[in-house]
Structure 1
Amino acid sequence: MNQTGLTPKVEPPTDGLSLDDAALADWTRCGVPHLLGQYRPVHDEIDATDLLVEGELPEGLTGSYLRNGPNPLLAPHGPYHLFDGDAMLHGVTLGQSGASYRNRWVRSAGMMAEAEAGRPLFGGLAGFRPPPDDVMAKVGMMKNTANTNIVSHAGRMLALMEASPPTQVDPDTLATLGVFDYDGALAGAMTAHPKVDPATGNMHFFGYGPFPPYLRYHVVSAHGDLLTSVEIDLPQAVMMHDFAITDKHALFFDLPAVFDVNALMEGKPFTRWEPDLGARIGVLALDGSGQVRWSDIDPCYVFHFLNASEDAAGNIDVVGCRSSSLPVSFGDQPAADVSPTLHRWHIDAAGTVTTTQLDDRPGDFPRINDALTGRTNRFGYVGWLRDVVQGDATFGGVTAWDLERNESVTWECAPAEVCGEPSFAADPEGTAENDGWLVTLTTDLARDHSYLDVIDARDVAAGPVARVKMPRRVPFGFHGNWFAAD
């Protein structure tokens, strides 16, 4: 590839966070598996311009890619789970002036209390413990890490994690603005995977929790007003990470990953896999009216859905990455060595469900052109899982699916490289569903540096058309999105 760009200019922000020598010494003694290798945190915030570009950036790719993920400020002094880490946003901006990078921690009240104390104060999913009484009075029992996704709706940029309300950040500087609860109208938590209806601009989301009501469904208008909140009755508290919508319905998967609050308070694994309880899909009117219609399915777990759609006769198709059991470990609970694979659930107008496996290759982090959310889509993009060992996933490429033809191709990154979720960036001059690019952060573990890879969505197997070299290694994270300049 040809290379363009000047020598990168890297500067720390005047209000940035960085660790002192004592805190850095703690990190040198930290040998927690999910803080090593691809997960190893970075310890400061920087701004960088004039990034080196290998290849040629597409002319229409103007805007910013933001990705969220765990990056604990302080080294843990006890058990640590990958889901526990403080949120760090990594942003890459592309435009006529070239490519630039910025990273910022999401400054939660819990993280800032720990920064002031100079030590961890909160337990996590692998070993819960309440913070000191004075901190609990100010912050609560747990940190709102906001470490899972970053979305924009109604002019607000929101960092999300599923156990808390959203945290608003400044879209330009990535500065933390504070917890946002729709002027007090939002009760409970907000999923990290809201869906925006392309026809109305309304944002649809749910929140779950360990105490009744176990599930709430919400609708926010295109202008950012909370329109609807509906309580949905579940027989027990379950971990529900994602859901799907069509143009008429919201779809909830009630799967047997059951919460045990008493175990959590005792510092024990708090999620039990109980397949004897069964599993089911709930179908509710998109506006939240009426009753939920439930249909039984075989027990399984799904972290992420690709999309859903519905025909004029009321037949619904949902596509997602299905595991036969919960593939993530909590505490000393062993993770099942199961890998998610792409499946389709067909729900006919009478409520009968037929499940079909679409792929035998493991994959997750499925994405589409979001302009087709809730509508029939032909193309989908899935992170190809190179390896999964006891819940520890290594992504080694991207599989592009043509669901109409039942065909797929895969781009694999180099053996020493790992990548992440492929986010779709639409070509502003395009007319077809797959006119655009996929952007994903890729890390060369041997050389300890990262790239933003840009892949033509119409020719995924060809690999990146451009690689933007990051000024630093970017730790593995969760979800991100492309935000076009307009």
Structure 2
Amino acid sequence: MLDLNPLLVDTTSSSSSKHPYLSGNFAPVQKCYPLTPCSYEGTIPADLAGGQYVRNGGNPAINNDESARESHWFDGDGMLSGVLFRRVERGNGNENGDERKTTTIQPEFVNQYLVTDVYRFAQENRHWMRRPFMPSISALLNPCTSAVRVLLKVLRTVALVLLSWLPGWSKTKVKRISVANTSVLYHDGRALATCESGPPLRFMLPGLETVGWFNGATTENEPSSDYEKIDKAGGAGFGGKGMLSFMKEWMTAHPRVDPETGELIAFHSFSCKPYVSYTIIPRSGVSTSPRLMSVPVPGMAGPKMMHDFGVSKDHTAIMDMPLSLNPLNLLKGRPVLSYDGAGKTRFGIFPRYHPERVQWVETNPCCIFHAANCWDTVSGEDPDNRNGLEPMATVNLLVCRMTSASLIFNAGNLPTPVSKAPIPREYQEEEQCRLYYYSFSLTPLNQRILHQFALSAIPFEFPTLSPAHAMTQARYIYGCTTTSPSASYTSSLGKSVKIDALAKIDVTTLIARGTAPDNPCPPESIKGCVDNRSVSDILTSSTEKEEENDPIQIFTFPPSHYAQEARFVARHNDVGEEDDGWLLTYVFDESQIDRESGECMEGAKSELWIIDAKGMKEVVAKIRLPQRVPYGFHGAWFGEDEVLGQRDWTAHR
């Protein structure tokens, strides 16, 4: 049987009429907690003291319980859910009268809405806001939705924005339409929440209070900014000046922060030329790093849905997939967001500080939403002797590659459209989502893809690695997988994404196997795979020694327990190996769901699990939270130095 979509596990009751992404533990929670002490079992690692784990995700605040309305997993107001590992020091006197202090850790849970313009406007006008401010992504995906209906939904949002600016109608002026519900990161004293439909939104640790929008030049509600001088001197933020500036400041939900230089690297995609631009924001006080603000990247033929990208120490790799995000698609009888299974995927590679030198290479169509890592290797001098000194560089990229856009439609409880155009035979692949390896030669006269194949046949998404090893040749990549091989993208209506296992992949070993010149059976380009075992094959390793040396290790959760994206946190020492640390993930026991209604029982709660990342077997601690945390998107670990090192802010808006 083909493993068509192993990331989808059906645990949704067929008797439930609700949208699968508005029921069970996907349903929004109704209560926000301030920092609240939690009980726990096990031993919390001392290295976590003072730090905080925070995860972002959609939690619709308006019309969040109606089964018939259009909805998509990517919709919903942003909500942060965090656990602070508060450092508690106690003094103990001894018989000599000496005062000795001992440190303990008290975990505290907190969750807060991100107070975006859209959220604030809706809350101020709850008496007449019967539908969400923004049209659902499902409306942009559904081929059965007429162009007129989509246009009316868009015009309604435009009308609400204009209404917010009229005197006497609302205290909140809607300047940006982002819900900031996708990811979180830390840069230069700011914790930031991100989403494709706007710039980052700053929030405070550990209470998760919203500060204001950060546009690359200034931040709302900060008393001062290093970039204010630039802004006052005539510079601008991500979007520049002009009528369309609000659209051009939309930023990827996955900007990268270089662990050595502290630079924030990002791209912006929008629906007008040049379609993609590129930004680098240096850390304050670092004069050696250039500041690039929304510099055009040449070579894009049209607007695309671009979620993530790769960044190495010296290069940047952007991904142009056949996934268009274009309002003009409606004139062609296609949804605004449309996938072309007969198109091409293109990779644009350029030196970090020179997007104008982008080199494009193309390959078979696919969908890539998350990049795991990117790094450079150098092999000898430039054979074309372009400058006589420059070595030949290879850019390596690890991504989670899907063979279609089916997951996007499934997350809106929509059937995947059947392509009207014939798909060439060489493009036809079974539905899958795997960890893929690409390498790109940057020889000036012969840019090409050297390698492209899957490292493992197991399903793999939501990747993470040791942050200190990002942008270098890291050995281990962690991610989410599942033990169930039976579900599929194409038969997933009424079902939802569930994660019941985590995987640790030794990518160095598998890349070496796949590229070894003496390999008698090298993986086929594009469709090939280095390790063809399933999750069940890996779990049934014959001996403990074989399991220890296995390049793929699987951590499985108990029956009915499902996790979310995990984050790696390293142990604080100078001699620890790359995998010496822990994986943090929220876990929910679905035995707390009523099987008849499909709804969570009253009092249902989640836990935060701390898993030994080296052995992938031991749960060192389970923290009991005061309520459940809905299945969401991306999180981050904020160390104690980051929590304590934040910039000042004035007050709530």
Structure 1 length as normaliser, TM-score? 0.88
Distance verdict in 2 for CA 1:372–1:89, change over 3 Å:
same
The 5 A counterparts of 1:22-37 are 31-37=18-24
Counterpart in the other structure of 2:605: 449
Q: CA deviation at 1:371?
A: 1.2
Residues 1:393 and 2:504 aligned together: no
Residues 1:334 and 2:383 aligned together: no
Q: State the alpha-carbon separation in 2 of the partners of residues 88 and 246 from structure 1.
A: 31
Partner residue of 2:81 out of 86, 90, 94? 90
Counterpart in the other structure of 2:157: 131
Partner residue of 1:404 out of 505, 508, 515? 508
Of residues 68-77 and 220-229 in structure 1, the stretch that sits farther from structure 2 once superposed is: 220-229
Structure 2 counterpart SS, 1:358: strand
Counterpart in the other structure of 2:454: 357
Counterpart in the other structure of 2:297: 232
Q: CA deviation at 1:190?
A: 1.3
Q: State the alpha-carbon separation in 1 of the partners of residues 625 and 570 from structure 2.
A: 23
Partner residue of 2:557 out of 388, 413, 416? 413
Counterpart in the other structure of 2:38: 51
Deviation digits for residues 457-481 of structure 1, max 9, x if unmatched? 1111x14111111111110010001
Deviation digits for residues 195-223 of structure 1, max 9, x if unmatched? 11223111111111222221111101012
Partner residue of 1:320 out of 399, 406, 416? 399
Counterpart in the other structure of 2:134: 122
Q: State the alpha-carbon separation in 1 of the partners of residues 329 and 441 from structure 2.
A: 39
Q: CA deviation at 1:430?
A: 4.8
Deviation digits for residues 229-285 of structure 1, max 9, x if unmatched? 311131011111100111110001111011231457999832111133311111111
Amino acid at match of 1:56: T
Q: State the alpha-carbon separation in 2 of the partners of residues 134 and 437 from structure 1.
A: 45
Amino acid at match of 2:182: T
Q: State the alpha-carbon separation in 2 of the partners of residues 371 and 416 from structure 1.
A: 34
Distance verdict in 2 for CA 1:404–1:122, change over 3 Å:
closer
Q: CA deviation at 1:81?
A: 1.1
Q: State the alpha-carbon separation in 1 of the partners of residues 157 and 361 from structure 2.
A: 41
Partner residue of 1:178 out of 212, 225, 228? 212
Deviation digits for residues 341-379 of structure 1, max 9, x if unmatched? 111011124322121111111110011111122110001
CA contact (8 A) 2:606 2:625 kept: yes
Counterpart in the other structure of 1:8: none
Q: CA deviation at 1:484?
A: 1.2
Distance verdict in 2 for CA 1:209–1:89, change over 3 Å:
same
Q: Which has the higher strand share?
A: 1
Counterpart in the other structure of 1:204: 265
CA contact (8 A) 1:426 1:436 kept: yes
Amino acid at match of 2:608: L
Structure 2 length as normaliser, TM-score? 0.66
Q: State the alpha-carbon separation in 1 of the partners of residues 343 and 76 from structure 2.
A: 31
Q: Which has the higher helix share?
A: 2
Percent identity between matched residues is 27
Deviation digits for residues 275-304 of structure 1, max 9, x if unmatched? 333111111110135421011121111111
Distance verdict in 2 for CA 1:239–1:90, change over 3 Å:
same
Q: Point out the structure with max Rg over C-alpha.
A: 2
CA contact (8 A) 2:367 2:401 kept: yes
Partner residue of 2:631 out of 459, 464, 476? 476
Q: State the alpha-carbon separation in 1 of the partners of residues 361 and 413 from structure 2.
A: 33
Counterpart in the other structure of 2:547: none
Amino acid at match of 1:427: R
Q: CA deviation at 1:333?
A: 5.5
Counterpart in the other structure of 1:286: 352
Of residues 155-164 and 73-82 in structure 1, the stretch that sits farther from structure 2 once superposed is: 73-82
Q: State the alpha-carbon separation in 2 of the partners of residues 267 and 279 from structure 1.
A: 23
Q: State the alpha-carbon separation in 2 of the partners of residues 471 and 239 from structure 1.
A: 37
Distance verdict in 2 for CA 1:267–1:160, change over 3 Å:
farther
Q: CA deviation at 1:408?
A: 0.8
Q: CA deviation at 1:80?
A: 1.1
CA contact (8 A) 2:465 2:568 kept: yes
Q: CA deviation at 1:52?
A: 1.5
Amino acid at match of 2:296: E
Counterpart in the other structure of 2:196: 162
Structure 2 counterpart SS, 1:404: helix
Counterpart in the other structure of 2:530: none
Distance verdict in 2 for CA 1:113–1:289, change over 3 Å:
closer
Q: CA deviation at 1:309?
A: 1.0
Distance verdict in 2 for CA 1:298–1:180, change over 3 Å:
same
Provide structure 2 residue ranges, at least 5 long, that are not aligned to the other structure: 1-15, 87-103, 140-149, 165-172, 219-235, 240-248, 380-392, 418-429, 511-550, 593-603, 642-653
Structure 2 counterpart SS, 1:311: strand
Partner residue of 1:213 out of 248, 259, 274? 274
Q: State the alpha-carbon separation in 2 of the partners of residues 276 and 421 from structure 1.
A: 31
Structure 1 counterpart SS, 2:63: coil
Q: State the alpha-carbon separation in 2 of the partners of residues 305 and 72 from structure 1.
A: 27
CA contact (8 A) 1:113 1:135 kept: no
Partner residue of 1:66 out of 54, 71, 74? 54
Q: State the alpha-carbon separation in 1 of the partners of residues 192 and 310 from structure 2.
A: 19
Q: State the alpha-carbon separation in 1 of the partners of residues 436 and 457 from structure 2.
A: 9
Q: State the alpha-carbon separation in 2 of the partners of residues 84 and 347 from structure 1.
A: 35
Q: CA deviation at 1:393?
A: 1.8
Q: CA deviation at 1:33?
A: 2.1
Amino acid at match of 2:31: D
Structure 2 counterpart SS, 1:131: helix
Structure 2 counterpart SS, 1:328: helix
Deviation digits for residues 13-40 of structure 1, max 9, x if unmatched? xxxxxxxxxxxxxxxx992221111201
Q: State the alpha-carbon separation in 1 of the partners of residues 330 and 624 from structure 2.
A: 42
Q: CA deviation at 1:66?
A: 0.3
CA contact (8 A) 1:125 1:269 kept: no
Amino acid at match of 2:263: N
Residues 1:366 and 2:436 aligned together: no
CA RMSD of aligned residues (A): 2.5
Distance verdict in 2 for CA 1:473–1:267, change over 3 Å:
farther
Q: State the alpha-carbon separation in 2 of the partners of residues 111 and 386 from structure 1.
A: 38
Q: State the alpha-carbon separation in 2 of the partners of residues 372 and 327 from structure 1.
A: 32
CA contact (8 A) 2:37 2:109 kept: no
CA contact (8 A) 1:86 1:105 kept: yes
Q: How many residues align?
A: 457
Q: State the alpha-carbon separation in 2 of the partners of residues 84 and 267 from structure 1.
A: 24
